[in-house]
């Protein structure tokens, strides 16, 4: 799954997003240049992953299968 995320500007932002996603039990790689997270394994549903990113202070602008 690929999540497009608005608001990530630096490596610190990317780490916050990755940490938020990994707290849900998923494995994610962050692509700061494309402003997205590629989730390879997830135990939570899309709504829970979106909520985790938004709780960290960022906005999910789209979700697609990777």
Domain count, the chain: 1
pLDDT over 90 at 1, yes or no: yes
Q: What is the pTM of this model?
A: 0.91
Q: How many CB atoms lie within 10 A of CB 35?
A: 19
What pLDDT digit, counting tens, does each position of 51-64 carry? Answer: 999 999 999 999 99
CA distances 65 to 2, 10, 12, 24, 42, Å, are 6, 25, 26, 19, 13
Residues of the domain holding 55: 2-64
Alpha-helical (H) ranges within 1-66 are 11-22, 46-55
Strand partners, 24: none
What pLDDT digit, counting tens, does each position of 23-51 carry? Answer: 999 999 999 999 999 999 888 899 999 99
Taking each helix axis from N to C terminus, what angle separates 46-55 and 11-22, rounded to the nearest 10 degrees? 140
For residue 15, give the CATH number of its domain.
3.30.70.100
């Amino acid at each position: 799954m690929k999540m497009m995320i608005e608001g990530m500007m630096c490596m610190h932002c990317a780490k916050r997003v990755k940490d938020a996603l990994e707290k849900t039990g998923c494995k994610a790689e962050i692509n700061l240049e494309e402003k997205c997270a590629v989730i390879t394994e997830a135990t939570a549903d899309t709504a829970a992953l979106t909520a985790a990113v938004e709780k960290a202070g960022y906005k999910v602008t789209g979700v697609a299968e990777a």
